[in-house]
A and B are shown apart, each in its own frame.
Chain A
Amino acid sequence: MLVKSFLVLLTLAAMSQLAVAEETPTPEGLEYCTVCHGSQLKGNANIGAPRLSGLPQWYIERQLLNFKQGIRGAHSDDDRGMEMRPMVSGLSVDELKAIAAWVAKTESDKPKATLTADSSAGKALYQSCAACHGAQGEGNKAIGAPSLTGLNDWYLVTQLNHFRLNVRGAQSADTYGQQMKAASVMVTSEQDAANLAAYITQLN
């Protein structure tokens, strides 16, 4: 075994330059997160796993807790959320905190726009969002509103539709989700959701 790994090292050394990368390393046991959410949690639309790098630590922590408690990822119309829930349901609160701390440290390029929608109609809708999420989508920790820039547009669309259709924010235990649901009543169609997401992506 020793000989074998030595040989492997030799081969690698022969063909490689071992570069010191500046990326945030993945803590042991959390490789799972990067399988779906991608390198440096840059997101992967093919799996429906959104970009997480750039989200505030407190928001990640709250959502992980929501998944753990079945506040998110329990609705049968939330396929991707249902895929996420078993990833955290067995973890302790402290473990979730540690994960959130790591997630907040990752860095990746902001995602490109993938939607073709009417962003000026979205801009008009965004006026009611700005009160909590800020004029530039910068977020406001004091009232629990996360930053919106750097989220994938397709993910914004899914979540806006989930709030609209009672898939997210309908549970009484979901204090912030309920607030968001109430605050997003002006999004009344899939088209609204797409327009709004297109505008938010422009804020990047």
Chain B
Amino acid sequence: MLNITRRQFLTYVGAAGGSSALLKANLALGLMHDDPYAGPVTVKPASSTNKPSALILGAGIAGLATAIELERAGYQVTILEASHRAGGRNLTVRHGDKIDEMGQPQICQFDKAENLYFNCGPARIPGHHRRLLHYCRALGVPLQIKANSCKLAYFHDDKAFGGKPVRQIDYHADVRGLMAELLWKSADAHQYDQLLSEDDVAKLMKFARLHGDLTEAGKYVGTERAGSTTDRMLEFPKPHAPIELKAMLDSSFWYGGLLGAELYDWCEPLMEPTGGMDGVVKGFVRHLKAKPVLHAQVKKIYNQENGVEVTYEQNGQFHTIQADYCFNNIPAYFMAGIENNFSSVYQAGLDSIKRGHLFKIAYQMKERFWEKEGIYGGISYTSDPVAQLWYPSHDIHAPKGILLGAYTWDPKVSAAFEAMTPAERLLAGAKSGEKIHPGYSKYIENGISIPWARMNHQMGCGMRMSPEDWDKYFHVLQKPEGRHFMIGDQISHHSGWQEGALASSEQALNQLNKLLSVNIDHGVNSHVS
């Protein structure tokens, strides 16, 4: 191509053709997003005389969405779900609900109240998860804003700032100030004179001053942007003394602390279904003709000439059923334990998907003490094993609240929690909480924990493939083998998000349409090109 950067090219186009030319060029180069989402796939409608049948294995989000689209197209659908409930990792617990942990099942002890619930798996939805938001709209699932960050919540690290929790607003303001000061200084020391004109260097220094709230002389001496150490309604504001640059660099807050609200999937504002994330599952089930068959654990899957035969066990009884198509939502690493006649490359692909480890704790707090500290929703981050504390942004000022007391992603840390008894986990979590909110433990009335890698019929979350396996197998698993399609967030680039599960379902249904147009209906317009 031409020896210029994409940016330079755009500048030229913008100058020549005005902004609409710029927009078009942007789209062509893939810098801006043309919105490709036009709702779910329309599956080629079944003829009214010959309704094809489809088996859905697993009532996770991907299975439920696939079922609903197939029903819309007139398919006869059966959903087999091994667990006592539909939803898979989309699980919300309230008073009396069971967390079916392998070997140590727990019953939720929260008071019986509508606002006391815990989203054990998914808890947040960003505005660009179009597929999920489509279903929330279509299924009548009410949403509310969920504060995913709160500037008045804390960072805590035993090894930084004397182990004292620091308010995020203080930290953010100081980081900006200190970084802006460095920028100002290097501009002042003529570091950019080669790169920029004198005018532009002046603009850069002005930007640095504004960005960091620096003095005329380019110094950061604290800022009112982070409040005041005095009552700023009645007295002159007095900013807190800024963090030392060295102390800031030594602190471990880079990821959670600085980027907590910056990543694309966490970009504000986020949303949550009112009353609990399982509102999505209930919405699907409400609209499905075929309710999931529960306690139905799939044991065998056989591709046949013109369909799929599946055997499941329910209450000690085996049942074998056949269907024209099968959509499999079961975590792929279980498939080696389920009899099948898959090709060796397909099975190897399934085996390449590895278990992930995520862990959460929730406490019922007898008072919403954090609100008295000015924290309404959002997250405190800590270098302690619990990693995160999430404050509910719903039911503000209610008498009690459910506080998320741990959310860990580090597989080693999660494994350590997995190895504990539920009581030990609550105790460990309370110890960490004390460091951020002294007196934390005395508010705890009860609690519950969920180690996803120990959950019945789940044994993991956040499926992972190595980059080599990815290249080798992902495209294999995206295609059907015979009449068998794999679905689930495991068959997406976005494992660990419901949007990934829905994208996998959409992808599989597109494949079905392709199959239908090739195999069955050459004459009729197909729904995919």
Contact = CB atoms under 8 A, between A and B. Distances in A.
A15 B321 contact: yes
Nearest to A109: B339
Interface in A86-141: 86-90
A86 B103 contact: yes
A40 B316 CA distance: 12
Interface stretch (A28-36, A54-62, A142-150, A180-188): A28-36
B218 to A, nearest CB: 54
B319 A18 contact: yes
A200 to B, nearest CB: 21
A2 interface: no
Contacts of A90: 103-104
Contacts of B321: 12, 15-18
Contacts of A11: 76, 78, 290
A32 B456 contact: yes
Interface stretch (B22-30, B87-95, B292-300): B292-300
A82 B420 CA distance: 10
Nearest to B320: A19
Interface in B405-419: 415, 418-419
Interface stretch (A42-50, A167-175, A191-199): A42-50
A38 B459 contact: no
Contact of A17 (B76, B103, B320, B459): B320
B333 interface: yes
B322 A16 contact: yes
Q: Interface residues of B: mostly helix, strand, loop or mixed? A: mixed
Given A8-B293, A49-B337, 15 more contacts: A12-B321, A14-B76, A16-B319, A16-B321, A17-B320, A19-B318, A31-B313, A35-B334, A36-B459, A39-B339, A43-B336, A47-B355, A83-B102, A87-B103, A88-B103
B103 A32 contact: yes
Contacts of A83: 102, 418, 454
A72 interface: no
Interface of B: 53, 76, 78, 82, 102-104, 290-291, 293, 297, 299-300, 311, 313, 315-323, 333-334, 336-339, 351, 354-355, 415, 418-419, 454, 456-457, 459
A169 to B, nearest CB: 22
Interface residues of A, number: 43
Contacts of A79: 415
A20 to B, nearest CB: 8
Most central of A43, A46, A87 by chain B CB within 10 Å = A46
A46 B333 contact: yes
A114 B334 CA distance: 18
Contact of A8 (B291, B311, B318, B339): B291
Contacts of A27: 316
Given A31-B297, A35-B459, A25 B334 contact: no
A31 B454 CA distance: 14
A164 interface: no
Contact of A15 (B78, B104, B297, B315): B78
A85 B418 CA distance: 12
Given A36-B337, A83-B454, A15 B316 contact: no
A26 interface: yes
Contacts of B300: 39
A146 B412 CA distance: 34
Contact of A47 (B290, B299, B313, B459): B459
B430 to A, nearest CB: 22
Contacts of A19: 311, 318-320
B258 to A, nearest CB: 34
Contact of A82 (B293, B315, B337, B419): B419
Contacts of B311: 19, 21
A86 B316 contact: no
11 contacts: A8-B291, A17-B320, A19-B318, A25-B313, A34-B313, A35-B334, A40-B339, A47-B459, A85-B103, A88-B103, A89-B103
Contacts of A40: 299, 339
A17 B322 contact: yes
A12 B78 contact: yes
Contacts of B82: 31, 35
Contact of B337 (A16, A32, A34, A88): A34
A32 B320 contact: no
A77 interface: no
B337 A39 contact: yes
A87 B513 CA distance: 44
B102 A35 contact: yes
Nearest to B290: A11
A86 B104 CA distance: 7
